[in-house]
Homo-oligomer: A and B are copies of this chain.
Amino acid sequence: MNTEKKSTIKRKKIITAAAAVFSQKGFHQAKMDEIATKAQVAKGTLYYNFSSKSLLFSATVTEGMETIISQVREELVSDLPFSDHFRLLVSTMVRLHIKHNDLTLICFNEISSGIDDGVLEEIRKVRTRFIDFIAELLTVGQAKGYIKDIDVQLAAVALAGIIDSVCSHILLNPRKTSRKKAVDTLHEILSSGFLKA
């Protein structure tokens, strides 16, 4: 038991370090050396726990995204009337998106960059997993009669994209754009679109 725990702790240290480095540098620019140093572990230990860089990346992303999804789920449990609930959804997603910027960056931007095909597939699954989760939320909204009768899958993709884009913009231009204003605008657009009634 002790031994197993010890190794579990090391595994976590590695994943945490990996998440930080991967998100900061991107897959190809992240070096196993740096991850090992940051995790306070010898390089060999990385390979003892994950058989390749790609697999470490895969594990990092997958586990991280699971965490985010469960956090969103937790925070959305509420008894607010729907109009407030939709606003909460938007602001929660923005907050968590920014908080876990490392992972979302990886998950939404590093899709193309020439990683092992097998691993790429894994990353896509994670992304799909996230989209499905959003679609699920939208379906609930439709069932309750608040959300329009549109293709939830596509709508989820659109929602993820719009939030990712706006959050990245906030992080890149923190002076020009306040988070509150961003949430307001997002909420406005997502509620009733661009056009005047």
Contact = CB atoms under 8 A, between A and B. Distances in A.
Contacts of A190: 189, 193-195
A150 interface: yes
Q: Which residue of A26, A138, A158 has the most chain B CB atoms within 10 A of its CB atom?
A: A158
How often does this chain occur in the complex, in copies? 4
Interface string A53-92: 0000000000000000000000000000000001000000
Interface in A1-34: 23-30
Interface of A: 23-30, 86, 105, 108-114, 124, 138, 141, 145-148, 150-151, 153-155, 157-166, 168-169, 172, 176-177, 181-182, 185-186, 188-196
A113 B110 contact: yes
Nearest to A26: B113
Describe A's contact surface by its main secondary structure. helix
A90 to B, nearest CB: 10
Q: Which residue of A109, A111, A195, A196 has the most chain B CB atoms within 10 A of its CB atom?
A: A195
A166 B195 CA distance: 20
Contacts of A159: 194
Given A151-B185, A155-B189, A161-B162, 12 more contacts: A25-B112, A26-B114, A28-B113, A86-B195, A150-B189, A154-B169, A154-B181, A154-B186, A157-B166, A159-B194, A161-B165, A189-B193
Nearest to A89: B194
A71 to B, nearest CB: 22
Contacts of A185: 150-151, 154-155, 158
Contact of A158 (B146, B165, B176): B165
A196 to B, nearest CB: 6
